[in-house]
Structure 1
Amino acid sequence: MCGAIVTSPFDVVKTRLQSSLFREGHTAVGVFSSGGGGGGAVLHAAPRHSGLLWNFVETGHILRDIYRDESPRALFKGLGPTLVGVIPARSINFFTYGNGKVVIANVFNEGRENSLVHLTAAAFAGIVTGTATNPIWVVKTRMQLSASRFVDNVPKVRQSGIGGSWLCIQKILREEGVKGFYKGLSASYLGVTEGTIQWVLYERLKKLTAENQNKGGLMEWFGMVGSAGTAKCVASLASYPHEVLRTRLRQPSVNGIVKYTGLWQTLKLVIAEEGVRSLYGGLSAHLMRVVPNAAVMFFIYEGILRW
């Protein structure tokens, strides 16, 4: 929960950069600069840049724009559903993985754990977690997109927190039915690869660290934190496009038109209209959010297990 609160602004930026609604509006509008006396906005062309370093600079610019143009509270849009979702999501994932690897090892591998056991348990945990918590993340995505000043055709959520979440839930239920809460689930299943890579790599790196350090020593704990951060970084880089596809599938309709209807259709349409690079939109903000978050989370997880 602490990690979700601290890194919430990066989550908002990531979601917007993944969304075609924000990308199209940002390109069309360019950069706003307030005119003297506050009478309207002056438009001028936004310089186009590329490169990994610029992606991190762009993240900073968007954080500044949200703070300036929408209010500081907009940096925490969708935090309510995130906090509601983070407890069951992490609980289900860690519980299913931790017990799953024990059961799989005992039943199929004579009680011995290896990378295949870890991989199978992680994949199962990802599927269970994604299915159980998908409605929460749909609400979060809708709230984060509703705040953007570039998305003119999407109804704005005037309330934040629990009130805004409830209004968003009612709107989805009224207009799309129960199935609206499961948009992007196919992309979430595709994203099981991220959790699988993360768990397998973490277990491997942790084992290597433990073999080279004193058991329970300070360096072993540093090694575990480094292992968690490294595993999350590699897993995110390897599977990131599923995040973009999932966000597109969860976008609200614009003027009654649903642009993205299926996983394969979304992939082809994104590549055709925007190129392969767009599948990595928001990656810098994503890494700035998830890598330190994973390091802290696994540190606390290991500490509680040992305690």
Structure 2
Amino acid sequence: MDKRLEVLEEDAEESYRYLVSDEKSSTLRGPEKLTDRKEVNDKQPAKWVHFIAGGIGGMTGAILTSPLDVVKTRLQSDVYNKMYNQTPKSSNPIIKSLQHFKETGSVLRGLYTNEGFRALFKGLGPNLVGVIPARSINFFTYSSTKEIISSNFNNNQEATWIHLLSGISAGFVTSTATNPIWLIKTRLQLDKSKGKNYKSSWDCLKYVVKTEGVGSLYKGLTASYLGGVESTLQWVLYEQMKTFINNRAISKENKTTKDHILEWSARSGAAGAAKFIASLITYPHEVVRTRLRQAPLESTGKPKYTGLIQTFRLVFKEEGMASMYGGLTPHLLRTVPNSIIMFGTWEIVVRLLS
């Protein structure tokens, strides 16, 4: 009896390879290996797909969270920091957090009341001009580097060290390529004269190049490289969380549409959680980068901030450690949902284009 069952199993496995789902005869096609379907599912999307999807995801997130980006930039600058932080902060971390939330709301209301609705989207033009290529470059470079390293040095297997190297590569390339755009965006957001200083992004670019030189477009680049640590840390944390979520998803059979939506939501949420942790650890570089791009002058006419280390020391000396986290609340309120929107959109577009 056992022998007959073994024969039947062998026959069934052999005949399966010739089964077809259309009207053509099975004799007109060759046998299909049982592993073929898995290989098709595991095929990686083309690199250009990540480039397009990253740009679309970045654009969507930037538009929806633009007002909070303006608030964050103002609270990071020295002029606005003094203006908005006149109320002493409590030593209690919970009360202090509530004060920061209240402060963020008051800045948003003040922007709308005093400068109009359009002020909430100041710098959005150069922001989009920067975000779209920045996210495209970042996702493209990260995915490409990860694929190259894993295929050549780790037998097509992913690992944490690969995610780390890929994140560093993506951060370096993205920062170098897009720093001039972010500098223009920062100058526009810090312009409190309703466009009297700079009429447009192009006008701001011409003014900066004419008065400060082409090299000034790369002010804050060293701080941007330091900011690459945040991006790298986010990628590493996101990959770890995503692996955990995917492993749980694989173990579940007969998944419904609701299950797929929940898995997508979990992966998007993982991106937000990764960004939250990475931002808390690396946030001071954001303040330093804004000060360097802002480029205020001393009474003597010389630049107040001249370099990364000098800016860290001067801000800490003059304003204390708390100032290194100026604008943290609106930053988190913006970047966490922005990451959720961006990574969620990225995944959807990748699936559609693949």
* Corresponding residue of 1:206: 242
Quote the sequence identity (%).
53
Deviates more, 1:139-148 or 1:267-276: 139-148
| 1:69-80 aligned within 5 A | 69-80=114-125
Aligned counterparts of 1:10 and 1:274: Cα–Cα separation in 2: 23
Q: Deviations over 1:186-216 (max 9, x none)?
A: 0000111111111111111011011112477
* Corresponding residue of 2:28: none
Deviates more, 1:214-223 or 1:101-110: 214-223
Give how far 1:218 is off.
2.5
Do the aligned partners of 1:74 and 1:147 also contact (CA within 8 Å) in 2? Answer: no
User: Cα distance 1:265–1:305, how it changes in 2: closer, same or farther (>3 A)?
Assistant: same
Question: Are 1:306 and 2:354 an aligned pair?
Answer: no
Which of 172, 196, 208 lines up with 1:127 in the alignment? 172
Give how far 1:47 is off.
3.4
Aligned residues: 280
Which letter maps to 2:66?
S
* Corresponding residue of 1:14: 72
Aligned counterparts of 1:238 and 1:284: Cα–Cα separation in 2: 14
Aligned counterparts of 1:166 and 1:224: Cα–Cα separation in 2: 38
* Corresponding residue of 1:174: 210
Aligned counterparts of 2:177 and 2:207: Cα–Cα separation in 1: 21
Question: Are 1:24 and 2:117 an aligned pair?
Answer: no
Give how far 1:18 is off.
0.6
Give how far 1:24 is off.
3.3
Question: Are 1:186 and 2:201 an aligned pair?
Answer: no
Which of 316, 320, 329 lines up with 1:271 in the alignment? 316
Normalising to structure 1: TM-score of the pair? 0.87
Normalising to structure 2: TM-score of the pair? 0.76
Aligned counterparts of 1:257 and 1:71: Cα–Cα separation in 2: 34
* Corresponding residue of 2:195: 157
Q: Deviations over 1:203-240 (max 9, x none)?
A: 11011011112477232112111111111111111111
State the SS of the aligned residue for 1:217. helix
Do the aligned partners of 1:77 and 1:147 also contact (CA within 8 Å) in 2? Answer: no
* Corresponding residue of 1:47: 87
Do the aligned partners of 2:70 and 2:122 also contact (CA within 8 Å) in 1? Answer: yes
Which of 306, 326, 329 lines up with 1:261 in the alignment? 306
Which of 268, 276, 292 lines up with 1:233 in the alignment? 276
Aligned counterparts of 1:183 and 1:248: Cα–Cα separation in 2: 10
Do the aligned partners of 1:142 and 1:251 also contact (CA within 8 Å) in 2? Answer: yes
Aligned counterparts of 2:98 and 2:81: Cα–Cα separation in 1: 19
Do the aligned partners of 2:60 and 2:341 also contact (CA within 8 Å) in 1? Answer: no
Do the aligned partners of 1:157 and 1:168 also contact (CA within 8 Å) in 2? Answer: no
Which letter maps to 2:223?
A
Give how far 1:159 is off.
7.9
Give how far 1:98 is off.
0.4
Do the aligned partners of 1:127 and 1:189 also contact (CA within 8 Å) in 2? Answer: yes
* Corresponding residue of 1:224: 267
Aligned counterparts of 2:303 and 2:195: Cα–Cα separation in 1: 19
Aligned counterparts of 1:198 and 1:81: Cα–Cα separation in 2: 24
* Corresponding residue of 1:153: none
State the SS of the aligned residue for 1:146. coil
Which letter maps to 2:337?
P
Give how far 1:291 is off.
0.7
Deviates more, 1:102-111 or 1:204-213: 102-111
Q: Which has the larger radius of gyration?
A: 2
Do the aligned partners of 2:191 and 2:197 also contact (CA within 8 Å) in 1? Answer: no
Give how far 1:3 is off.
1.9
Which letter maps to 1:177?
G
User: Cα distance 1:257–1:68, how it changes in 2: closer, same or farther (>3 A)?
Assistant: farther
User: Cα distance 1:202–1:55, how it changes in 2: closer, same or farther (>3 A)?
Assistant: same
Aligned counterparts of 1:138 and 1:275: Cα–Cα separation in 2: 25
Give how far 1:68 is off.
1.1
Aligned counterparts of 1:251 and 1:233: Cα–Cα separation in 2: 25
Q: Deviations over 1:109-168 (max 9, x none)?
A: 2221101000000101000000000000000000111127xxxxxxx63388xx511111
User: Cα distance 1:188–1:279, how it changes in 2: closer, same or farther (>3 A)?
Assistant: same
Give how far 1:297 is off.
1.1
Question: Are 1:295 and 2:340 an aligned pair?
Answer: yes
* Corresponding residue of 1:113: 158
* Corresponding residue of 1:33: none
Give unmatched runs, 5+ long, in structure 2.
1-58, 91-95
Deviates more, 1:256-265 or 1:124-133: 256-265
